[in-house]
Amino acid sequence: MNDENLKILVIGSGGREHTIAKECAKSPLVEKVMVTPGNGGISNEFTSFSVGVEDNQSIVDLAQEESVDLVVVGPEVPLCNGLVDDLQKVGILAYGPDAAGAKLEGSKAYTKDFLAKYAIPTAAYGNFSEVPPALEYLQGCQLPVVVKASGLAAGKGVLICESMEEAKAAVEDMLSGESFGDSGREVVIEEFLEGEEASLHLICSGESYVAMPMSQDHKKVGDGDAGLNTGGMGAYAPTSVVTPGMLTQYEEDIVKPTLAGLKAEGVNFRGTLYIGLMLTNNGPKVLEFNVRFGDPETQVILPLLEDDLVSLLLLSARGEEMPSAVKFKEEYAMVVVLASKGYPGAYPKGELITEPDTAEPGRILIHAGTKSDGENIVSSGGRVLGAVGVGPTLKNAKEKAYALVDAVHFDSKYFRTDIGYREFSRSQED
């Protein structure tokens, strides 16, 4: 395959996939970007199809019919379901790990055992598939304690339990299959870690990788990190909480042992490795691995990339050596998620969305939970849109992001007003 006039198929329907499609479309190597199933905003910009992310065979058929040169898999479910394996079997190049590599995200129990085996710093833990030993283990835990469903739970299978009664109820609920079905048939009980969280994204090809700018997500629904956990209400990058020297140390203590450990396990990891870190007083500890770009972190990381994204994705997909250095803009990016009021609980759908007529420099509107009703774009999910600002300072990026928030309307629009507050408190920059 000549790396020109490439046809790319992006799998997914969220803000992450809209961002990936936009960045791929900028590449001089690319002739056409397609997305399945996409969303309302994506379908206005790119050729979209209606094939769902869990239908491996139909995705393979679509990629063959459209003579796709590279499939970029956005969400975790198709990766864990072996979509990359199925595409590779018919000779279609795909970005993302195979099912063996995706197990790092698909099973939290497997990941914890992997971290322990290769002496990678993480919280103390126990894995359980039956209630009695789990309850016995709890008796020796300090409060608060973390109870996690081992399988995929769309970012919602993690409970921080303040009392022993709450912890016991969480364990019994998960192992019964009541809350998370098969995803909760095995649970991880984990030491609660204090500190700031940070997200490290790597594009990997075996033990070769490039590191993206460190970012911080805002998981809680309300200002000041109040309320319920969500899929993410906003993010910014880069963050000063991790200095270049600290990042170098993280690579030595965490990244390289992880990739070497995967190799030792017979896994040739290709794709995105997203390491969720807790920066504790005792150094960084791994909270979790994800095997795809984060959402909403993608919306702030990729716009800062100066080099060609598609070139990096191709190297990874082919298992070739990654470049020793990648250029990023000396700028900041912030995304503010516009959610439907009520999220992450019940929320309205089908609300008319009005957005600015013209795009302004440094402002990017990313669609997530939207769809087209034929004439208009309407809301269809909890996280509806992402308002991205890019600028020379974080303050400037914030101003652009929130100006875009103000320029968009739907009736139940809800958003946090304090994205980046930790960074501003560190720098004293408002």
We report the CATH number of the domain holding residue 265 as 3.30.470.20
Q: Are residues 268 and 400 in the same domain?
A: yes
Q: Are residues 247 and 335 in the same domain?
A: yes
Whether 377 is covered by a domain: the verdict is yes
Neighbours of 307 (CB within 10 A): 13
Residue 180 confidence (pLDDT): 64
Residue 359 confidence (pLDDT): 77
Q: Are residues 203 and 316 in the same domain?
A: yes
Burial 120-144 (b: 16+ CB within 10 A, else e): bbbbebbbbeeeeebbebbeebeee
Q: Side chain identity at 167, as an amino acid letter?
A: A
Q: In the structure encoding, which two tokens stand for residue 73, read together?
A: 């898999």
Q: Are residues 68 and 144 in the same domain?
A: no
Query: What would you report as the CA-atom Rg of the chain, rounded to the nearest whole angstrom?
Result: 21
Residue 155 confidence (pLDDT): 61
Residue 357 confidence (pLDDT): 79
Whether 298 is covered by a domain: the verdict is yes
H or E element: which one contains 349? none
Whether 422 is covered by a domain: the verdict is yes
Q: Are residues 173 and 209 in the same domain?
A: no
Q: Are residues 220 and 140 in the same domain?
A: no
Q: Are residues 151 and 291 in the same domain?
A: no
Q: Are residues 173 and 206 in the same domain?
A: no
Whether 39 is covered by a domain: the verdict is yes
Whether 258 is covered by a domain: the verdict is yes
Q: Are residues 160 and 289 in the same domain?
A: no
> Closest by alpha carbon to 148, among 138, 158, 156?
158
- Could you state, in chain order, the average pLDDT of each consecutive group of 10 residues for the chain (430 residues)? 90 98 98 98 96 97 98 97 98 98 94 96 93 92 92 76 92 78 78 94 97 95 93 96 91 97 97 96 94 97 98 98 95 98 96 88 96 92 98 97 97 98 80
Q: Are residues 233 and 146 in the same domain?
A: no
Chain segment 325-371, per-residue pLDDT in tens: 899 999 999 999 999 999 999 999 999 999 997 778 999 999 999 99
Whether 124 is covered by a domain: the verdict is no
Whether 101 is covered by a domain: the verdict is no
The answer to whether the predicted template modeling score (pTM) of the entire model surpasses 0.85 is: yes
Q: Are residues 217 and 350 in the same domain?
A: yes
Structural domain count of the chain: 3
Q: 361 lies in which domain range?
A: 196-427
Whether 65 is covered by a domain: the verdict is yes
> Closest by alpha carbon to 144, among 158, 164, 169?
164
* Sign of the alpha-carbon dihedral angle for 412, 423, 299, 151: negative
Residue 116 confidence (pLDDT): 96
User: Is the distance from CB of 347 to CB of 340 less than 8 angstroms?
Assistant: yes
Distances (CA, A) of 344 to 228, 276, 332: 7, 21, 28
H or E element: which one contains 45? helix 40-45
Beta bridge partners of 72: 10, 95
Distances (CA, A) of 178 to 185, 198, 300, 327, 345: 10, 31, 36, 47, 17
CATH number of the domain that 13 lies in?
A: 3.40.50.20
Chain segment 84-126, per-residue pLDDT in tens: 999 999 999 999 999 999 999 999 999 999 999 999 999 999 9
CATH number of the domain that 147 lies in?
A: 3.30.1490
Q: Are residues 180 and 204 in the same domain?
A: no
Neighbours of 226 (CB within 10 A): 9
Helices (H), 90-138: 99-106, 108-117, 131-138
